[in-house]
């Protein structure tokens, strides 16, 4: 089957031929900031603080924006002090022209701090193509959504999609949400409204730093979950939270998880391992116990990467030889010729990878 390239409009073709893409975009955006030859762009039209350290941005999108499915992630690119930064966020579709981007302020997080403190109505954001497979199940089954911190954003997108499709009135959904303080709860009013409106929607929120404090995720919470073996369980949060959930909910019918950050790795590993890069024809030594991507970057090697969370697969390459350990779930892999996400794996032995 031959791919058919979408033809440009006559006006765009003339602009591109005479001026070039970058120059064309420059002049088009002088007329309208959302006009572009090839860029998916969005303009902030409303900014609202949705929790103590969380901001929600309503964004008007242009015709080139491709909306992902509920639960997927979008790379976004913003310019801060003359530098471009790419990060990944879950979006919620509001209508055909608007999406909601919700971001939690993270300590030393360049983009999250800029979005929270400095982004203003009228700012333009560039979007990449969506990715991720934590989607609504094709076959309806009880759905258990387990979130911590900003891991609530893909869950909110999934729940809103269920409501829009009129599925919340016939599909059991149990949302379990961990935060530090009451002020940290995002979308609380909406979740409580759903719980009142739909008998099969259950919403539990747990506060780990209030008085009295709720316990962090552990096996004591299993007694409030019904029909785990028949349920689909989705988990999103820090890597330590995700790893714990993976152990607790391993009996679920379906279990999918995503970690938005890596917890500090406690490791007795010392010294260095050698990584052979077959395409670059290089051998470099990187420290044990840290992500392979970070080790390569410290050697001034810049592999392609995106989310740094093990989701987007931009950094994935073939591991020809060697043993690795996943920093999110702790799983070790000794098999040759496996797909390796270098952003979330550390080397246990010398490696040969196709980079």
- In the chain, CATH 3.40.50.80 sits at 143-261
Among 135-139, 154-158, 170-174, 268-272, the range scoring the smallest mean pLDDT is 268-272
Residue 101 vs residues 119, 139, 157, 209, 241: alpha-carbon distances, Å: 12, 28, 10, 26, 23
Among 31-35, 57-61, 62-66, the range scoring the smallest mean pLDDT is 31-35
Among 25-29, 134-138, 315-319, 338-342, the range scoring the smallest mean pLDDT is 25-29
Superfamily of domain 12-127 in the CATH hierarchy: Translation factors (2.40.30.10)
Pairwise CA distance, residues 291 & 308, whole Å: 10
Q: What pLDDT is recorded for position 263?
A: 59
Among 94-108, 121-135, 323-337, the range scoring the smallest mean pLDDT is 323-337
- In the chain, CATH 2.40.30.10 sits at 12-127
The average pLDDT across 304-327 equals: 89
Pairwise CA distance, residues 54 & 37, whole Å: 33
Q: What pLDDT is recorded for position 334?
A: 93
Q: What pLDDT is recorded for position 262?
A: 66
Pairwise CA distance, residues 252 & 228, whole Å: 5
56-242-260-171 Cα dihedral, nearest 10 degrees:
-40
Q: What pLDDT is recorded for position 28?
A: 72
For 183, list phi and psi in degrees, rounded to 5. Answer: -70, -10
Which are the contacts of 168, defined by CB distance < 8 A and separation ≥ 6?
A: 159, 162, 194, 197, 198, 200, 201
Contact 113, 105 (CB under 8 A): yes
Pairwise CA distance, residues 330 & 1, whole Å: 42
pLDDT in tens, 159-217: 999 999 999 988 999 999 999 999 999 999 999 999 999 999 999 999 999 999 999 99
Q: Tell me the percentage of the chain whose pLDDT exceeds 70.
A: 92
- In the chain, CATH 3.10.20.30 sits at 272-353
The average pLDDT across 34-43 equals: 88
Mean pLDDT of the chain: 89
Asked whether residue 147 carries a pLDDT value surpassing 80, the answer given is yes
Contact 84, 77 (CB under 8 A): yes
Asked whether residue 125 carries a pLDDT value surpassing 60, the answer given is yes
Q: What pLDDT is recorded for position 3?
A: 38
Contact 142, 231 (CB under 8 A): yes
Question: Domain 272-353 belongs to what topology?
Answer: Ubiquitin-like (UB roll) (3.10.20)
* pTM over cut 0.85: no
- Give the side-chain half-sphere CA count within 13 A for 80: 18
Which are the contacts of 240, defined by CB distance < 8 A and separation ≥ 6?
A: 263
Question: Domain 143-261 belongs to what topology?
Answer: Rossmann fold (3.40.50)
Q: In what order do the strands lie in the sheet with 332-333?
A: 332-333, 324-326, 345-347
Q: What pLDDT is recorded for position 233?
A: 97
Q: Is the pLDDT higher at 35 or at 340?
A: 340
Among 260-269, 274-283, 319-328, the range scoring the smallest mean pLDDT is 260-269
Asked whether residue 20 carries a pLDDT value surpassing 80, the answer given is no
Most confident stretch, 20-34, 67-81, 251-265: 67-81
Pairwise CA distance, residues 161 & 293, whole Å: 35
Asked whether residue 271 carries a pLDDT value surpassing 60, the answer given is yes
Asked whether residue 4 carries a pLDDT value surpassing 50, the answer given is no
């Amino acid at each position: 089957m031959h791919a058919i390239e979408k033809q440009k409009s006559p006006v765009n073709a003339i602009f591109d031929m005479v001026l070039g893409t970058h120059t064309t975009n420059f002049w088009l955006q002088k007329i309208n900031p959302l006009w572009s030859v090839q860029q998916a762009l969005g303009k902030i039209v409303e900014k609202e603080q949705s929790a103590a350290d969380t901001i929600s941005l309503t964004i008007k999108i242009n015709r080139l924006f491709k909306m992902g499915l509920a639960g997927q992630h979008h790379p976004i690119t913003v310019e801060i002090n003359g530098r471009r930064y790419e990060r990944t966020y879950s979006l919620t579709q509001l209508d055909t022209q608007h999406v909601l981007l919700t971001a939690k302020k993270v300590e030393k997080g360049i983009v999250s701090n800029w979005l929270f403190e400095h982004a203003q109505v009228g700012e333009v954001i560039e979007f990449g193509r969506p990715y991720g497979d934590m989607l609504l199940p094709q076959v309806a089954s009880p759905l258990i959504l387990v979130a911590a911190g900003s891991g609530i954003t893909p869950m909110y997108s999934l729940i809103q999609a269920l409501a829009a499709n009129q599925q919340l009135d016939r599909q059991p959904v149990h949302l379990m949400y961990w935060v530090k303080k009451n002020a940290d709860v995002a979308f609380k009013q909406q979740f409580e409204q759903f719980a009142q409106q739909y008998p099969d929607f259950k919403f539990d929120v747990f506060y780990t730093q209030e008085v009295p404090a709720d316990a962090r995720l552990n096996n004591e919470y299993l007694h409030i979950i019904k029909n785990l073996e028949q349920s689909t369980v989705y988990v999103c949060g820090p890597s330590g939270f995700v790893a714990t959930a993976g152990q607790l909910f391993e009996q679920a019918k379906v279990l999918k998880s995503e970690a938005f950050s890596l917890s500090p790795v406690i490791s007795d590993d010392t010294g260095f391992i050698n990584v052979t890069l077959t395409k670059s024809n290089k051998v470099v030594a990187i420290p044990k116990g840290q992500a392979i991507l970070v080790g390569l970057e410290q050697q001034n090697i810049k592999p392609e990467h995106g989310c740094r969370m093990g989701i987007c697969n931009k950094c994935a390459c073939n591991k020809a030889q060697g043993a690795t350990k996943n920093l999110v779930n702790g799983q070790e892999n000794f098999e040759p010729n496996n797909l390796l996400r270098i952003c979330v794996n550390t080397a246990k032995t010398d490696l040969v990878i196709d980079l």
